[in-house]
Amino acid sequence: MTEVPALTGHDLIADYVKRLDGSPGVYRMLDAQSRVLYVGKARNLKARVSNYARPSGHSGRIARMISETASMMFLTTRTETEALLLEQNLIKQLKPRYNVLLRDDKSFPNILVSRTHGFPQIKKHRGAKTEKGSYYGPFASAGAVNRTLNQLQRVFLLRNCTDSQFESRTRACLLYQIKRCSGPCVGLISEADYAASVADAERFLSGKSTALQESLKTEMQSASDAMEFEKAAALRDRIRALTAVQTVQGINPRTVTEADIVALHMEGGQACVQVFFIRAGQNWGNKDYYPRVGADIDAPEVLEAFLGQFYDEGREPPRLILLSHGLENEEWVADAVSERAGRRVELAVPQRGEKAELIEGAARNAREALARRMSESATQTKLLEGVAEAFGLESAPRRIEVYDNSHIQGTDAVGAMIVAGPEGFLKSQYRKFNIKGTDLTPGDDFGMMKEVLSRRFARLMKEDPDREHGHWPDLLLIDGGAGQVSAVAEIMAEMGVEDVAMVGVAKGVDRDHGKEEFHRMGERPFALQRNDPVLYFIQRLRDEAHRFAIGTHRAKRAKSVAATPLDEVPGVGAGRKRALLQHFGSAKAVSRAGLADLKAVPGISDSLAETIYDFFHAKG
């Protein structure tokens, strides 16, 4: 019996079309290994998918995708908006090869005015808004938040210390001395006056800075008339600082109080999307994104995909989004973004006036940022090609992983991994490893490296066995010489990973920076010329790995130094720990306290006092 060949490409898609109806929904195109090639949405599944059944008239990218399609999956939805939301969720989850992908999905920071204390703390906040207080944002970056916080401290003298630091203070800190805090921790300002400063800061963050200045001027004049010259001088200094803040805020729009400015520039098969955040009539920073695109994708498709992935559950859109290009499905996208926001969101492509000027400025930033990136990418590509030539690799590595360890006589040991590629350092891909091995002798670098690499590649083989997602390295750089390289090669062989290139970087004669020796399995060590750009590149990689390892180790060590036996007591959290330390003065005093003394501590119940007493006396 002759076996009928399986349908693929146009024929396969045409066969699916026969069984589809006009419902809205989402479709997936899969290759012969069932890997998702593309996720798409449709108002009418039958009409949309039938376009792929045509044998001609497609761009090169779509034609390749169709030729690789071996099966399809379909999911109908009740509405078109549901289809768009589902499509973007699947794209973020599956990362299909032929979709436009947004590579940066970090949440944005906010400023939080906490409401858990009589003297509210003002601080940076990122993530879910679970803490009680007022949130202002989003800001484009941590740097934008820090600049604004510094300005607020200078103008309104609000504290940024934690509640535990506040409670333990016996004298004013340096911030008070340099006039960045009003010293509420030691009673240098009343609760009512501090609350007034907090209210002023919130008025500023809400865009009411002009009214705030007028109010301060009136208050200053009243103080002066009453011959309260010290108070008048303090108010004068606050007005001056507030004026300086507004001067350095950047160009703030006059007619737009709340909007995101989204501008796209495409060139040479690459794209840059520049997003400016306008909140409370102020420019709260901008951020550039580089979505993965192809040479034959048009601007409306890129922007539509960007908006769908950018405004996910963790990013609340403003009431107005200004765009540099129109969308094919503008109403559809607006409905989806509005549904996520829980209120109406307007999309607009301004043609004149201040809004058009804002878009023009964002587009200029996008164009210049992409030009810089393309220039840096060309330089990085040359360096990676040089690495391939120096180490005898078949092609330039797309992903280099560099490993290092850090410890002090074996204590608080950590392993660190940094990642670099054509786009430079990929900091979102960095990983730290707390060394867990109990059988390691202090300072056993071989043992630590074995644990780190075993954990790293065990996870890779579990999460990406087919090496589809670009998370497997093309080159490993190990800090060490022949011994380290031999040990790592043995580890990799045990795990069945023998096709990843590996190089050991060892300090040369007299451990001189610039005389590094490079070690590869089965080959003699060699060095590069002192002025070789590849040598500088390798040094930068190794130094970055060392910096990251040292920083990780210091953080772990600081945490262990700050730890107390109270951390191990069941039922004792941060608040009760603080109450105990304030009452007794030290963890040792708590451990020696009698049951009656423990019961006398505010916030410590009788049953918890018994638990604490039993914990320490059982140990003795």
User: What Cα–Cα distance (Å) separates residue 101 from each residue in 62, 97, 104, 309, 424?
Assistant: 16, 9, 9, 8, 19
**Residue 550 domain-assigned?**
yes
- Return the pLDDT at 482: 85
* CB-CB contact of 232 with 224 (8 Å): yes
Distance of alpha carbon 63 from alpha carbon 56, whole angstroms? 8
* CB-CB contact of 312 with 251 (8 Å): no
Percentage of residues in the chain with pLDDT exceeding 70? 90
Helix (H, G, I), strand (E, B) or coil at 576: helix
Cβ partners under 8 Å of residue 2, min gap 6: none
The answer to whether residue 175 scores a pLDDT higher than 70 is yes
- Return the pLDDT at 253: 74
> Which band of pLDDT confidence, cut at 50, 70 and 90, is reported for residue 559?
low
Pick the last residue of a domain from 43, 64, 94: 94
Bridge partners, 272 (sequence order): 265
- In this structure, are 73 and 127 located in the same domain? no
> Which band of pLDDT confidence, cut at 50, 70 and 90, is reported for residue 67?
very high
- Return the pLDDT at 516: 86
Give mean pLDDT, residues 405-424: 78
> Which band of pLDDT confidence, cut at 50, 70 and 90, is reported for residue 441?
low
Residue with tokens 């054509």: 422
* CB-CB contact of 103 with 291 (8 Å): yes
The candidate with the shortest Cα–Cα distance to 285, out of 150, 147, 153, 141, is 141
The answer to whether residue 3 scores a pLDDT higher than 70 is no
The candidate with the shortest Cα–Cα distance to 308, out of 517, 23, 141, 99, is 99
- In this structure, are 39 and 168 located in the same domain? no
Dihedral sign of CA atoms 242, 247, 249, 252 in order? positive
**Residue predicted with more confidence, 169 or 475:** 475
| Element housing 594 (H / E) | none
- In this structure, are 453 and 575 located in the same domain? no
Pick the last residue of a domain from 209, 225, 248: 248
**Residue 395 domain-assigned?**
no
- In this structure, are 407 and 546 located in the same domain? yes
- Angle at which helix 445-463 crosses helix 482-494, to 10 degrees, equals 40
> Which band of pLDDT confidence, cut at 50, 70 and 90, is reported for residue 562?
low
**Residue 311 domain-assigned?**
yes
Of 7-16, 347-356, 390-399, which range is least confident? 7-16
- 27 phi/psi in degrees, rounded to 5: -125, 150
- In this structure, are 155 and 117 located in the same domain? yes
Give mean pLDDT, residues 339-351: 91
Give mean pLDDT, residues 520-546: 89
Where residue 389 falls (left for φ over 0; alpha for ψ -120 to 50; beta otherwise) is: alpha
User: What torsion do the CA atoms of 157, 161, 163, 167 make, to the nearest 10 degrees?
Assistant: -80
**Residue 103 domain-assigned?**
no
Residue type, 605: S
Distance of alpha carbon 185 from alpha carbon 176, whole angstroms? 10
**Residue predicted with more confidence, 246 or 327:** 327
- Give the structural domain span for 234: 110-248
- 32 phi/psi in degrees, rounded to 5: -65, -20
Bridge partners, 396 (sequence order): none
In the chain, the largest separation of any two C-alpha atoms, in whole Å, equals 108
> What's the pTM value of the predicted model, to 2 decimals?
0.67
* CB-CB contact of 585 with 599 (8 Å): no
- Total domain count, the chain: 5
- Return the pLDDT at 154: 81
Q: What is residue 314's DSSP assignment? A: T
* CB-CB contact of 476 with 449 (8 Å): no
**Residue predicted with more confidence, 253 or 396:** 396
- In this structure, are 406 and 508 located in the same domain? yes
- In this structure, are 237 and 267 located in the same domain? no
- Return the pLDDT at 1: 40
Cβ partners under 8 Å of residue 47, min gap 6: 22
> Which band of pLDDT confidence, cut at 50, 70 and 90, is reported for residue 324?
very high
**Residue 28 domain-assigned?**
yes
Interval 79-138: pLDDT, tens: 888 888 899 889 888 889 899 888 766 678 888 998 888 899 988 888 778 888 899 878
* CB-CB contact of 74 with 25 (8 Å): yes
User: What Cα–Cα distance (Å) separates residue 376 from each residue in 268, 395, 420, 423?
Assistant: 14, 20, 13, 8
- Return the pLDDT at 38: 94
**Residue 388 domain-assigned?**
no
As given in the structure block, the two tokens for residue 407 are 């410890």
**Residue 391 domain-assigned?**
no
Give mean pLDDT, residues 328-351: 90
- Return the pLDDT at 348: 94
**Residue predicted with more confidence, 345 or 145:** 345
Answer whether the bond into residue 55 is a cis peptide, omega within 30°: no
- In this structure, are 319 and 448 located in the same domain? no
Pick the last residue of a domain from 355, 371, 387: 371
Span between the terminal Cα atoms of the chain, in Å: 83
As given in the structure block, the two tokens for residue 91 are 């794209």
**Average model confidence (pLDDT) across the chain:** 84
- In this structure, are 357 and 469 located in the same domain? no
The answer to whether residue 264 scores a pLDDT higher than 90 is yes
- Return the pLDDT at 70: 92
Give mean pLDDT, residues 210-235: 77
Residue 356, domain CATH: 3.30.420
Distance of alpha carbon 610 from alpha carbon 598, whole angstroms? 8
Residue 518, domain CATH: 3.30.420.340
- Return the pLDDT at 244: 58
Highest mean pLDDT range out of 71-80, 199-208, 291-300? 71-80
Buried b / exposed e along 444-482 (16+ C-beta atoms within 10 A): bbbbbbbbbbeebbeebeeeeeeeeeeebbbbbbbbbbe
* CB-CB contact of 409 with 423 (8 Å): no
- Return the pLDDT at 365: 92
> Which band of pLDDT confidence, cut at 50, 70 and 90, is reported for residue 237?
confident
- In this structure, are 244 and 266 located in the same domain? no
The answer to whether residue 4 scores a pLDDT higher than 70 is no
> Which band of pLDDT confidence, cut at 50, 70 and 90, is reported for residue 2?
very low
Residue 573, domain CATH: 1.10.150.20
